[in-house]
Amino acid sequence: MHEKAYYTYLEYQKRYSAHTIAAYQNDIEQFVLYLNSTFDIVDVLDVTHVHIRSWVVHLMQGNIKPRSINRKLSCLNSLYKFLIRRKVVKTNPLRKVQGPKESKKLPSYVKQSNLEKLFKQIAFEDTFAGIRDRAVLYTLYATGLRRAELISLKRTSFDFANNQLKVLGKRNKERIVPYGQGLADMLAAYIKTRDAEFSSNLQDSFFVTNRGEELYPKFVYNLVKKYLSSVTTVDQRSPHTLRHSFATHLSNNGADLNSIKELLGHSSLTATQIYTHNSIEKLKEVYKKAHPKAKEN
């Protein structure tokens, strides 16, 4: 089965995570199921661009978002490129297929003044949980880490002498992220409290639950949502909102896109360019408030 060989390739050569491979497999299985039920086709080798276009229409009629459809098409494109390299097929049927246009949605972020209020005015309890919560929030905002990257941090991830940490991001891509003295002091306070709270039987994870166990996604999400709800009314109050805030504030304060790209761990500038739109929106707001001709009809 060609698909099975493809999944093996993703696991051992591309070194994709089990989560990513499962997502690819799910998309391909959905496509094969559609081929079978609509065209009585069971082998991806018999597919043409006509079949794929029909599938796209089917997905759109099912109110699947353009972004999700394009992700599925990207998955298929990767599969057929693999089959071409193995000389199983001669041409890629995706070459004649155009995905639906995606509406540009600006990432949700929290205003800089609101986050300053969170860390300067909101009272965190002087307990292990309170000190941990503040350190988690500050780490997410000060470094722009993804939730999974935060959870996977170990004590060895930190270079405390140089105020920087080593992050293993998507597709096992490693990057170094610097941080300021404010976070360094907060981490030192967390470590002191953590070591006093859990003198033994502590796991290798840097940030831990009240029981000394590794954090899990829902725990981090609930923690972030709880505290962000006290300083902002934005719809999205997730760990990724802090990542967006990190990048947006860097952009608003003059950081160049390449630097933001490296700090976020993006593979290309395409994903990073979205933050220039937020900067433009800020410029428009400043112009409307400050320029004497801005309000003229």
Q: At what angle do helices 66-85 and 2-12 cross, to 10 degrees?
A: 100
Instruction: Render pLDDT for 232-243 as a digit per residue (tens, 0 to 9).
Output: 988 889 999 999
Within a domain: residue 15? Answer: yes
Instruction: State whether 174 and 280 are in the same domain.
Output: yes
Catalytic residue set: 146, 170, 240, 243, 266, 275
Instruction: State whether 233 and 151 are in the same domain.
Output: yes
Instruction: State whether 194 and 73 are in the same domain.
Output: no
Q: pLDDT at residue 281 above 90?
A: no
Q: pLDDT at residue 278 above 80?
A: no
* Distance in angstroms between the alpha carbons of the first and the last residue of the chain: 66
Within a domain: residue 164? Answer: yes
pLDDT for residue 170: 82
pLDDT for residue 244: 92
Enumerate residues 6+ apart whose C-beta is below 8 A from 48: 93
Instruction: Render pLDDT for 100-113 as a digit per residue (tens, 0 to 9).
Output: 987 766 778 899 99
Instruction: Render pLDDT for 27-73 as a digit per residue (tens, 0 to 9).
Output: 999 999 999 999 999 899 999 999 999 999 999 999 999 989 999 99
Alpha carbon distance 100, 52 (integer Å): 13
Within a domain: residue 201? Answer: yes
DSSP bridge pairs for 165: 158, 177
- CATH classification at residue 28: 1.10.150.130
Average pLDDT along the chain: 89
Instruction: State whether 59 and 161 are in the same domain.
Output: no
pLDDT for residue 291: 61
pLDDT for residue 295: 61
In the chain, how many domains are there? 2
Instruction: State whether 216 and 119 are in the same domain.
Output: yes
> Domain range spanning residue 23?
2-96
Nearest to residue 55, comparing CAs of 67, 70, 45? 70
DSSP per-residue codes, 154-207: BGGGEETTTTEEEEE-GGG-EEEEE--HHHHHHHHHHHHHHHHH--SS--SBSS
Percent of the chain with pLDDT over 70: 90
Within a domain: residue 256? Answer: yes
Instruction: State whether 254 and 197 are in the same domain.
Output: yes
H helix runs in 40-162, sequence order: 49-61, 66-85, 112-120, 128-143, 147-151
Instruction: State whether 177 and 211 are in the same domain.
Output: yes
Within a domain: residue 159? Answer: yes
pLDDT for residue 57: 94
- CATH classification at residue 140: 1.10.443.10
Within a domain: residue 102? Answer: no
Within a domain: residue 106? Answer: no
Instruction: State whether 146 and 204 are in the same domain.
Output: yes
Instruction: State whether 155 and 29 are in the same domain.
Output: no
> Taking the model in full, what pTM does it have?
0.64
Instruction: State whether 132 and 190 are in the same domain.
Output: yes
Within a domain: residue 237? Answer: yes
Instruction: State whether 33 and 177 are in the same domain.
Output: no
Instruction: State whether 69 and 34 are in the same domain.
Output: yes
Least confident of 24-33, 127-136, 142-151, 265-274: 265-274
pLDDT for residue 285: 67
Phi, psi at 187, each rounded to 5°: -65, -40
Q: pLDDT at residue 143 above 80?
A: yes
